Amino acid sequence: MTLDIHSQTDNSKRITDLAQRGSNIGSYGLKGVQYAAHRGLSKIAPENTLPAFIHAGNAGFWGAETDVQLSLDGEWVLMHDATVDRTTNGTGAVDSLTLAQLKILDAGSWFSDYYVDARVPTLLEYLQTCKRAGLIPVPEIKTGTYSDTDLQYFIDQCLSVFGDYQFTILSANQGIVGQLRDLDKRVTIEYVVGAYTEALVDFCVTVGNCWLGAEYTTIPSDVIYATSRGVQIVAFTVNDPDNIVDMINAGVRQITTDYINLP
């Protein structure tokens, strides 16, 4: 399968060629912003599959966000939902299926027949693809109950490919955030919340080397408090150029997006 930014799917017609986004975004005064592709470039390839990350790399994204959870036999795999039903031809909870069972599923044809060969990636496959594509990995550990051994395995896999700690681990669960910090003092963590508050900024300060990811509609008109506390705010999921401008003007320097539909 040959992959480039202009895929054979109709969805490719819905976005601007992001390979040109550096000069285009400059006209909006948006230089210096880190853009993370939400579940990969998921408007032109099936979410959380390797083709979506390859497209994101070709498009010039800074990083690639994804969702990760454990299989029945303890392997970290990419899947947003608790079940495989929506994005594969299979059924059942992710944690009730072994890696071998997940690997035989078709994870692409629900999106387009062109991606019939796409499979559910492992965390390691995602990391290796990011490395080749020049992307910073931004994996989110989906909320659940994980042992320290599980989470250390996650960190170790990240370090096996990005040994310089050039990755950020996301979680929407304070308990998991605490576990990650206890296990590794150097890894960058992003605490994902529904709404920005100064109290949550303070929590990130307590954790240390912790960013705060918030729904962009809840972020105030400026993030001076967060900046003063040394906490980077990440806005998600921002797809409209006007909203992107608002976030940059507020002081946000990292944005998660499905695509940037510049005129």
DSSP 119-177: -PPBHHHHHHHHHHHT-EEEEEE-SS---HHHHHHHHHHHHHH-TT---EEEES-HHHH
Residue with tokens 């669960």: 173
> Which tens digit of pLDDT belongs to each residue from 246-260?
999 999 999 999 987
Domains of the chain: 16-257 (3.20.20.190)
Report the b/e string of 3-23 with b at 16+ CB within 10 A. bebebebebbeebbebeebee
> Which tens digit of pLDDT belongs to each residue from 120-160?
999 999 999 999 999 999 999 999 999 999 999 999 999 99
CA 243, CA 238: separation in Å to the nearest integer? 7
CA 86, CA 105: separation in Å to the nearest integer? 12
3-state DSSP assignment of residue 28: coil
Question: Which residue(s) pair with 34 in the sheet?
Answer: 254
Backbone φ and ψ of 2, nearest 5°: -95, 125
pLDDT band per the 50, 70, 90 thresholds, residue 65:
very high
Q: What number of other Cβ atoms are within 10 A of residue 42's Cβ?
A: 23
Tell me how far CA of residue 177 lies from CA of 39, 203, 243, in angstroms. 21, 10, 29
Tokens of 110: 């629900």
Backbone φ and ψ of 95, nearest 5°: -75, 5
pLDDT score of 102: 98
pLDDT band per the 50, 70, 90 thresholds, residue 30:
low
Q: Give the angle subtended at the CA of 51 by the CAs of 172 and 146, to the nearest 5°.
A: 30
CA 74, CA 97: separation in Å to the nearest integer? 10
